[in-house]
Structure 1
């Protein structure tokens, strides 16, 4: 009798272990199927976006809440496009024309916007952490309230852009043109502003703790946080 009971117990353990293994296998298969479906959806969405690439300003580009995560959109002409709330993390927009496009509340983390044209675009409250905006043309672009931690703006043209209450902690704005930019209440702790042109920029209430202001250019129209003593202004010159 003891042997029979022991055998039943062992059998139950084996059955339970096999059931758990089958459940894990099923979960893995479902996850793989979901990932494949997601990738297929993203490729379909990418083709939709590409089909709307045109210099025709009258062409509607309704890409709100679209998921194109990780896709290549380099060189596309998408001025005035609507990407509000879209999933765009890890996308490549190298050299794209995105002037006057809308990216409010979108996820653009780790996106490559090198050399892109985004003048007049709206990135308010978007996630742009670690985005690459090197050499980007972004005059009068709205970055208010955006997460720009670790972003790279080296040599970017940002004249008249709004960074109102944006988080630029540890961002790189070296040699950036920030003339008449609105940086009110922006978080600039640890930000590299070396060689940047801040002529006429508005930095009232900005957090400049640990910011690098080496060789920065500013003028009498530049507004600094109350009690902050800026370094001497140097003639505008950008290293080669």
Structure 2
């Protein structure tokens, strides 16, 4: 009886700590990614290009196309410019978006699972509740972007996330703990200088040689993450979970802030 009660309490605690993970998993369980609604496109590349070209211009001459809710999965849209556009709820599952531009675009609740965004630019884009599991973002520019997306298993090797905000919005929790989720993501050689990772989920993330200088890691989850040779100068580790994390050298750790206030530091792995 006591064992069952303890197990129930642990399960409830996990749900309260990571409700966004539960919400994300429930969403994927209820969606058939192979259904026509998710796996097909209602437009051709030529039609997308025409829509982008016909989009209205603002005073600065910048176009902002409206592709809200459009089905654009498994197309080749590489190199296109969606900057400033409304792409909320759009579906880009398995779509090739290599070198495409999404600067300042609204991609809230869009679907980019398995999308190829290699060398794409998403500077200052809005990625709230976006599904980006296993997306390929090697060399992509997400600097200054607002990200509460699920990037679990995504490849961000050499990506630029300087000044990006992946923190939880503690003012609006009606939908659970919306935050950047980078569980098991590959961030080797990525630039996260000055990024806000407060309460972000980086469990088991690969962060070898990543630049985490001046990052806010307040209460972030870095359990099991690999921080080998990472630049942590000025990074704030207040409340950061470091259970089983592989830490960099003592010299690198000496440049951090509030490492003594991290959680489970005694369970972290030290370099040999």
Same fold (TM over 0.5): yes
Q: What does the per-residue CA deviation read over 1:82-124, in whole Å, with 9 as the maximum and x for residues that have no partner?
A: 1101111111110112111110001110010001111011111
Q: Distance in 1 between matches of 2:104 and 2:229?
A: 32
How many residue pairs get aligned? The number is 196
Of 206, 219, 223, which aligns to 2:236?
223
User: 1:163 and 2:166 equivalent?
Assistant: yes
Alignment root-mean-square deviation, CA = 2.4
Contact 1:137-1:158 within 8 A present in 2 as well: yes
Residue 22 of structure 2 aligns with which residue? Answer: none
Residue 88 of structure 1 aligns with which residue? Answer: 92
Contact 1:153-1:173 within 8 A present in 2 as well: yes
Of 150, 166, 181, which aligns to 2:153?
150
Q: What does the per-residue CA deviation read over 1:49-96, in whole Å, with 9 as the maximum and x for residues that have no partner?
A: 211445964333000000011111101122111110111111111011
Q: Distance in 1 between matches of 2:144 and 2:98?
A: 20
Question: Which structure shows the bigger proportion of residues in strand conformation?
Answer: 2
Give the structure-1-normalised TM-score. Answer: 0.75
State the structure with more CA Rg.
Answer: 1
Unaligned runs of 5+ in 1: 1-33, 235-240
SS of equivalent to 1:124 = strand
Q: What does the per-residue CA deviation read over 1:18-39, in whole Å, with 9 as the maximum and x for residues that have no partner?
A: xxxxxxxxxxxxxxxx96xx95
Q: Distance in 2 between matches of 1:72 and 1:66?
A: 15
Of 122, 128, 131, which aligns to 2:126?
122
Q: Distance in 2 between matches of 1:186 and 1:140?
A: 16
Contact 1:52-1:59 within 8 A present in 2 as well: no
Q: Distance in 2 between matches of 1:69 and 1:138?
A: 22
Residue 192 of structure 2 aligns with which residue? Answer: 178
Residue 43 of structure 1 aligns with which residue? Answer: 43
Unaligned runs of 5+ in 2: 1-34, 168-178, 254-272
